[in-house]
Structure 1
Amino acid sequence: MFGLKRRLKSAQERPERGRDIAVAGRRLPLKINENVRAKRMTLRIEPGGRALRMSVPVGLADTEIDNFLHRHHGWLTARLAKLPKSSTVTEGGSIDIRGVAHRIVRTGKPRGISQTGEIDGEPVLFVGGAPEHLGRRTADFLKKLARGELEEAVARHAEALGKTVAAVSMKDTKSRWGSCTAQGRLSFSWRIVMAPDHVIDYLAAHEVAHLEEMNHGPRFWSLCKRLCPRTDEAKSWLKRNGSALHSIDFKG
């Protein structure tokens, strides 16, 4: 193993620098972070396999970084081969909404809100606008739905704990599904709305639990399971399927 654990951002980290590298016949963006606390180089694959991230000691020569990447090229190739291939949102394609596959159908109308419905009993997502805007409009629908689902779940769990939430925001994060600050600001990846309902509920419970336990110790997990009894099931689902949600390209 060579440093695959998640690191918390530190004020001692210097600004990132980036470049592209070739791996398994494709080019991937690589972000390199110099950290004065780093004693060795660490490398990780971002969820979805669409980018790489390195942490290196300050002042490390580029040749050392190149040699490290060369030594671990086989590992990268093998790991990337196991990840879901990136998929693009297309007309007639499918998108999961709260764990249910919906066929994407363009309405042909230049305007109008996106909405779910059925055609001959098949769940569909109706999307208006020009063909080149299909991905963006689909993402906009998911973001709006995610906010509504998560705000409701957060409010319910926060009330159960007697806690106050300062704000809830949606982001398209690559390294985590959610976060909670000491000031009570909760942030979530809107992509979670593609997961089943119990997974969405778990993510909300997870971040609300941090309002009381700002750690991942036994008391935190006990609290998380009290708020969401299906915590273990949801965690397993995310471990198996999380990368697939991150791999979906809404830009086309």
Structure 2
Amino acid sequence: MVSEIQSVKFGEKEIIYSIDRTERKTIGIVVEPDGKVIVKAPFNLERDMIQDTVYKKRKWIVEKLKLTEEIKKPIPVKHELVSGEKILLKNRLIRLKIYNSPTKRSKITYAFKTLHIYVNENLSVIQKEEEIKRVLIEWYKEKAFSIISKRIEKYLNVIDYRPQEIKVRDQKIRWGSCTKDGRLIFNWRIIMAPISAIDYIIVHELCHMKEPPHSSKFWDLIESLFPNYKKWKEWLRINGRLLDLRI
């Protein structure tokens, strides 16, 4: 079926979207990694109602489109971990704010899309950079472990295999791995990705517990648990290079 192409104005910006008619009962809006806006709507829903829904969600759509533009930009050679720098958390840009602190122990808090890092004021410039990097990566690891532990339960209810242990490490090449004794190891950088990409990585490693090689059975098992896995596999292939601090 040919998609219907429509548009809606938001200030000076025109949001162009396609309508895919399906048997679903509600409207769903998706912003693809390449910037395409797709509205999935019931067959019998009037176009005016679809337009009204898109208009109500226009701010959310524009924010998502801005993010797709961000990830298309050339990768900076290096991040400077200074106040005002932006980093990724679950596919959203958050701002860093660095403080000099009289206490020796570093502290990190997150509120209102800003990550506040407190480091000892007596450290040298180089020491301060290393300390900020250290506490930031530890914070990422904690966040990654927390969300993986929660998300994995969704799939453990379906698959008969339960991992012996879940670990989050600094892996330079792999997003995740599964050991022969049933331990799942994940790269902390996945916490920078969208939730659906994280889910794909989790399902990928869970399926290795049952089907170790990348056989047709393996991919069939993934598809049974996560039907749109190809989309997020491709997203990681294209955008995975952005999931790093580059420092």
Deviation at 1:112, TM superposition (A): 5.9
Letter in 2 for 1:90: L
Q: Where do 1:159-174 residues align within 5 Å?
A: 159-174=157-172
Letter in 1 for 2:189: R
Structure-1 residue corresponding to 2:117 = 127
Structure-2 residue corresponding to 1:117 = 111
Contact 1:198 1:230 in 2 (8 A): no
SS in 2 for 1:129: strand
Contact 2:106 2:135 in 1 (8 A): no
**Greater mean deviation of Cα atoms: 84-93 or 98-107:** 84-93
Structure-1 residue corresponding to 2:222 = 224
- The reply to whether residue 96 of structure 1 matches residue 94 of structure 2 is no
Structure 1: stretches of 5+ with no match in the other structure: 1-82
Deviation at 1:204, TM superposition (A): 0.6
Contact 1:199 1:237 in 2 (8 A): yes
Q: Percent identity?
A: 28
Deviations 1:87-130 (A, max 9, x none): 23412201100111001012444446423212xxxx21111214
Structure-2 residue corresponding to 1:57 = none
Deviations 1:60-79 (A, max 9, x none): xxxxxxxxxxxxxxxxxxxx
Contact 1:84 1:247 in 2 (8 A): no
SS in 2 for 1:214: coil
Contact 2:107 2:119 in 1 (8 A): no
Distance 1:220 1:141 in 2: 33
Distance 2:80 2:220 in 1: 39
Count of residues in correspondence between the two structures = 164
How high is the TM-score relative to the length of structure 2? 0.60
Contact 1:89 1:134 in 2 (8 A): no
Contact 1:104 1:125 in 2 (8 A): yes
Deviation at 1:144, TM superposition (A): 0.5
Please give the root-mean-square deviation of Cα atoms over the aligned residues, in Å. Answer: 2.2
Structure-2 residue corresponding to 1:68 = none
Distance 1:198 1:86 in 2: 28
Contact 1:158 1:165 in 2 (8 A): no
Q: Where do 1:1-252 residues align within 5 Å?
A: 84-91=75-82, 92-109=84-101, 110=103, 111=105, 113-118=107-112, 123-130=113-120, 131-132=128-129, 133-246=131-244, 248-249=246-247
Poorly superposed stretches of 4+, deviation over 4 Å: none
**Greater mean deviation of Cα atoms: 181-190 or 223-232:** 223-232
Structure 2: stretches of 5+ with no match in the other structure: 1-73, 121-127
Letter in 2 for 1:128: Y
